[in-house]
Amino acid sequence: MGSLRGVTKLVAASHNAGKVREIEDLLRPHRITVISAAELGLDEPEETAATFTGNAELKARAAAAVSGMPALADDSGLCVAGLDGQPGVYSARWAGPEKDFRKAMAVLEDRIQNTEDRRAHFVCALSLCWPDGQCETFLGEAHGLLVFPPRGSKGFGYDPIFLPDGHDMTFGEMDPVAKHAISHRAVAFKKLIDACFAD
């Protein structure tokens, strides 16, 4: 796998401002400028894969090929034990074309009424692809419980209903620095950093 040492610019292959902001925060110590797919006018490829890894690689490979720069794509979602892992790879789609996660959280609350199992985990597949098509994907998970009603206005997506194990604040209530220390994206990023900035 190629090293990121010496790389100064990288494409965040996402049109989700929240994800791009987290990627910027996590790469800032490594002095890499993050350029979003939206800034470059790149189309959002359709997520046709059945797995988080497949969708992340699809997005990163497309952005790297068009931009000529290394590209990083994240595919992540919430897997609910009482719903047999749903919404999973369809997490964003539950929010509809308008990306209304208040609606998605309401749908989730309605669907989980028939089960007492509130366990859930976030999954993040982080794919780094190069213009030559070479890719490597790093996986991270964060486990916790669902809580209703939603709590907090920080973060994005399903963060206000996710209470991580061992904590009394939802991701939506946490300061970004605290969330970045334990999130599924942070776990995947640590694996990427260890692999791509190792001596």
Note the pLDDT tens digit of each residue in 39-85.
888 887 888 889 999 999 999 999 999 999 999 998 999 999 999 99
Active site residue 199: no
Give the mean pLDDT of 9-32.
86
Q: For residues 95 and 40, give the distance between their C-alpha atoms in angstroms, rounded to a whole number.
A: 25
Token reading at 136 = 């490597």
Closest among 178, 162, 166 to 78, alpha carbons compared: 162
Backbone phi, psi, residue 55, to 5° = -70, -40
Pairing of strands 119-129, 135-146: antiparallel
| Type of residue at 173 | E
**Global model pTM greater than 0.95:** no
Closest among 143, 12, 122, 24 to 76, alpha carbons compared: 122
The H-or-E segment that residue 127 falls in is strand 119-129
pLDDT above 90 covers a percentage of the chain that reads 63
Which candidate in 25, 74, 75, 132 is catalytic? 75
Sign of CA dihedral 105, 49, 34, 181: positive
How does the average pLDDT of the chain come out, rounded?
Answer: 91
Please report the pLDDT score of residue 198 as a whole number: 66
